[in-house]
Chains A and B, each alone.
Chain A
């Protein structure tokens, strides 16, 4: 996330709010799921780490109000990760 540091709270983003959105929009939908069969995005796209990063961005971005989504990073293993910045 990125944004101006709120002068009253000193936060870029309310972490509790972010956590709630993340849990509701992303984790509830993906955690313990068979990605290919149970997550709608992956009925038409291969669930590569690239596409998982894009799907998470698309799920989060419209729901985040207080600050701007800067990057989604998905670690597939400790040695391999994908970053998505919302670039076309």
Chain B
């Protein structure tokens, strides 16, 4: 029997929405106050959904300790209290929460072997959220 497990994690980080491919005016028009020069912060809530057959012996989709330690180390540890614009993955892309979804998806997909990754969902604020489930399922 296949089940889907979702775990929520929290980290705080700052970003400035600014594209080098746009002019000063275009950046302002596209991103509004999110383009202010010194950026602003969010308490990001990341939901990671994994799936797989429920192991008959353990009754689990995956070992939660393994998932937690992977995500704490590779995701929360990487982004917590950082300025996202300064990280290498955002050297050539804007650290929107859409792009953050893609980056976290890539990290988990590549590194976590305990279960199949279904999707990454990020709540940037309590009013907006983004999700990415990979290319093939879209």
Measuring CB to CB, which residues of chain A are less than 8 angstroms from any residue of chain B?
Answer: 45-51, 53-54, 78-85, 87-88
Contacts and interface: CB of A to CB of B under 8 A. Distances in A.
B22 interface: no
Contacts of B64: 80
Given A50-B3, A54-B3, A88-B2, A80 B58 contact: no
B59 A82 contact: no
A47 B60 CA distance: 10
Contacts of A47: 59
Given A54-B54, A87-B2, A79 B59 contact: no
17 contacts: A46-B59, A50-B3, A51-B54, A54-B1, A54-B3, A54-B54, A79-B8, A80-B5, A80-B6, A81-B5, A81-B6, A83-B6, A84-B4, A85-B4, A87-B3, A88-B1, A88-B2
Given A80-B64, A87-B1, A88-B1, A50 B6 contact: no
Given A45-B59, A50-B61, A82 B6 contact: yes
Given A54-B1, A54-B54, A48 B7 contact: no
A53 B59 CA distance: 11
The SS class assigned to the B binding surface is: strand
| Best-buried of A47, A78, A82 by chain B (most CB within 10 Å) | A82
Interface in B2-49: 2-9, 49
Contact of A48 (B2, B4, B49, B58): B58
B4 A82 contact: yes
